[in-house]
């Protein structure tokens, strides 16, 4: 079984409609800043920027 270590689950929120669409894992030791990814939002029905929830 793999070692969990510094990886934590984070929630990504759409910047346009504020819906929580995705849950991804992130290594907080290697990437301390907030994550920003362009993903598809099913509510907006287009690709938007998704940011890490506080």
Question: What's the pTM?
Answer: 0.81
Q: What is the pLDDT of residue 1?
A: 66
> For residue 1, how many C-alpha atoms fall within 13 Å in the half-sphere facing its CB?
2
Radius of gyration of the chain (CA): 12
**What is the 8-class DSSP label of residue 33?**
S
Among the listed residues 4, 10, 39, 11, the one whose alpha carbon sits nearest the alpha carbon of residue 26: 10
**Residue 10 confidence (pLDDT) above 90:** yes
Model pLDDT for residues 13-51, shown as the tens digit of each residue: 999 999 999 999 999 889 899 999 999 999 999 999 999
């Amino acid at each position: 079984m793999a070692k969990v270590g510094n990886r934590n689950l984070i929630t990504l929120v759409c910047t346009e409609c504020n819906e929580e669409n995705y849950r991804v894992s992130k290594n907080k030791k290697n990437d301390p800043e907030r994550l920003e990814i362009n993903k598809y939002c099913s509510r907006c029905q287009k690709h938007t920027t998704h940011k890490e929830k506080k």
